[in-house]
Structures are given as C-alpha cells and as structure tokens.
Amino acid sequence: MTGSITDVGGIRVGHHGRLDDDAKLGSGWASGSTVVLTPPGTVGAVDSRGGAPGTRETDLLDPSNSVRHVDAVVLTGGSAYGLAAADGVMTWLEEQQRGVALDDGVVPIVPAAVIFDLPVGHWQCRPTAEFGYRAAAAAGTDVGIGTVGAGIGARAGVLKGGVGTASTTLDFGVTVGALVVVNSGGDVVDPATGLPWQAAHIEEFGLVAPPADERAGYVDRHGEFSPFNTTIAVVATDAALSKAACRRVAVAAQDGLARTINPCHTPLDGDTVFALATGAVEVDPAPTTPASMSPELALMTAVGAAAADVLARAVLVGVLAAETVAGIPTYRGLLPGAFE
C-alpha cells in the first residue's frame, strides 16, 4: 500500500540489531543499525534541522565540497557511540571495491546519523562496526519495518517508534522513496483526536477516532518527558539531480517530519534527512508547472514535494508497525480502538 524506498531502482536496505527477550529500561540489548546501500554514481546531500545532531561525513555532502557520490548511508542507534557502525559498512564496501578510487585502493563514502536510544537498553549495549557490516551484508529490496535495525530502541513521544518506509511514482515516471527511524521527542498523535497529525493519510491506514476513554488514557501519558529524541531519514529518487538539487530535496523533505511530529526540530532533537539521487531516469520533457520555471527547478520542486509526502507516510508506517520494547507502549496497544 505504501511502497518502499527500494522501489527506487538500485537502492537496498539492511538491518542488524540485538534485542534481549527480557529487555527493560536500562538493562540488556535494545539497539541496532540500518544501512541504505546505493548504486554507483548516486549523488547525495543532507539537511539537519535538530539542535542536537549526531552525524558523520555530513560536511562532505555540502554542495560546495568536492565529493559528489555516496556509497551508503547509515542510520543507527547508540547515540554518538553508534557512529562506529559506519566503520563496518566501510569495511564491507571496501571488500566490494566500492568507493573513491585511489592508487592504492578505495575510500567508501558513508555518511551516518544517530538516534539517542541508550536508556532503552543498557548504556553499554550500543552498535559497533560489526552491526554496520552485518546490516550492509544483509541488504536487499525487502525492507523490514517497525522494531528492526535502528528502530529497535526508538520512541515517538511516549509511544514506541520504529523504522518506516514509503514510496510514490510521479506522473512523469520518477520514483521517490523514503526510509525513516522515528525517535521523536514530539508527539505523532493529536491528543484531541487520538489520531496521527497527518490526517490526509488516516483513511489510507484504515484508522478511525478511538473511544473517549482511550484518548483520555493517552492524554494522561502524552505529556511525559521523553529523552529519546532525534528522527533520522533518507529520501531517494531515480531522477538525475545535482548535489545542490539533492540538498533542496532534503530541505523540502523535512516538511514530512513537521507534518507528522509535534513539536519537531526542537533543541533536543537531531533531526537529519539525507537525500539521494541515482540518476537512472532522465526526465524528458521535465515537468514545467508553473510554466515560468526552468525544467531543472520544476523537477527539483516536484521531487521535493513528493519526498515530503512519502516521508510523512513513512513516519506513520514506522509508528504503526512498532512492537513494544522495554514497556514502551505502541499506538495499537494504547489506542486499539483506532483500528476497529
């Protein structure tokens, strides 16, 4: 119904995580890593809006800098410690001879971003290079959602967060997809209705307003402080875009988070969105609405708008698919009447 980021040809996704059967807040394993692998020649950029980002290689993605192509993107738990997962992805890519080719070898380009999930499991139980290596080795076109990979320890306000994905194909043949790890400090549910903020997609997911007593129960909890902040995402397209255009797509895609999370981009969130363009589809003729726009601007605008839409849908997919970890309630568990 919602599609997947791997509907963009050549994009693959892998997860690796560890979740102890008896994980409780502050004890055991409850974290993981998610890797997005790209086909050769994929252009990448990034936009970070949160006040507390944890990232790696994002300066390289600035349009003013030299390297254009991205070999993989890592989304991981473990706060700044979890950035070590990117080392494992680099090792795997080097074995595949992927990266910037130099005289004596290759240097894979692997940007990464983290969520803060350390208190869900034991503080010392966080992803390592092995997590990234295994996630890269497991990558394929079937994308796991919910409590998998980097979504294992994720939280969305007081609800369980997780990994979500979605895609769409535009009228002129370009596909746009998104993958997100929802770990927001803000709510994904409107306390007044018990429904997600993004009302445009409620019918798509078959949701109805839950009973008043369930909404009251959610209201009693939704104001609880959550330190589990930062939502990170990748949007991808098969359109041919420049590095600067990818940056504008990443900027536009952030609106998908703002539509589904309230508040969003807070000082305690590290909200970061990567944008990838494989360049497999040359649009001819390019969309030209309004007619005064150049073909390049029209394409960038259309892809950016679609990226915001699919990212919003992906947020809902991740939250609705999440399973309880360490006593963190799910949307279905706290508001079951929404599914009747």
The CATH number of whichever domain residue 85 belongs to comes to 3.60.70.12
Please give the backbone phi and psi of residue 46, each rounded to the nearest 5 degrees, phi first.
-150, 155
Q: What is the pLDDT of residues 98-127, one digit of tens each?
A: 999 998 999 999 999 999 999 898 899 999
Q: Rounded distance, CA 175 to CA 271, Å?
A: 24
In a domain? residue 281: yes
Residue 337 maps to a domain: no
Does 333 fall in a domain? no
Name the residue with higher pLDDT: 19 or 223.
Answer: 19
330 found inside a domain: no
d(CA 70, CA 77): 21
The pLDDT of residue 251 is 97
Please report which confidence band the pLDDT of residue 295 belongs to, taking 50, 70 and 90 as the band edges. confident
pTM equals 0.94
| 3-state DSSP assignment of residue 304 | helix
The mean pLDDT of 327-338, rounded to a whole number, is 91
Q: Which domain holds residue 35?
A: 5-323
Give the mean pLDDT of 289-301: 79
Residue whose entry in the numeric block shows the structure tokens 């596909």: 175
Nearest alpha carbon to residue 248 among 298, 286, 182 = 298
Interval 130-143 mean pLDDT: 97
Convert the pLDDT of each residue in 199-226 to its tens digit. Answer: 667 777 888 889 999 888 888 876 665 6
pLDDT at 240: 94
CB-count exposure of residue 282 (10 Å: 0-12, 13-18, 19+):
exposed
Share of the chain above pLDDT 70, in %: 94
What mean pLDDT comes out for the span 333-337?
90
Is the predicted pLDDT of residue 1 greater than 50, yes or no?
no
Residue partners of 9: CB distance under 8 A and separation at least 6? 39, 175, 238, 278, 280
Beta bridge partners of 306: none
**Higher-confidence residue: 203 or 323?**
323
**Peptide bond preceding 290 in cis form (omega within 30 of 0):** yes
pLDDT above 50 for 45: yes
Does 329 map to a domain? no
How many domains in the chain? 1
85-113: b (≥16 Cβ within 10 Å) or e? bbbbbbebbeeeebbeeeeeebebbbbbb
- H runs (alpha helix) in 108-242: 129-137, 212-222
- Please indicate, yes or no, if residue 133 is contained in any of the structural domains: yes
Give residue 331's pLDDT: 93
Mean pLDDT (the chain, rounded): 91
Higher pLDDT, 190 or 202: 190
The single-letter code of the amino acid at 74 is: V
Q: Is residue 9 part of a domain?
A: yes
Q: Which amino acid is at 335?
A: L
Whether the predicted pLDDT of 228 surpasses 90: no
Q: Give me the mean pLDDT over the 160-184 stretch.
A: 96
Answer yes or no: is 339 within a domain: no
Q: What is the per-residue DSSP string for 63-132?
A: TTSS--B-SEEEEESSGGGGGGHHHHHHHHHHHTT-SEEETTEEE----EEE---TTTS-TT----HHHH
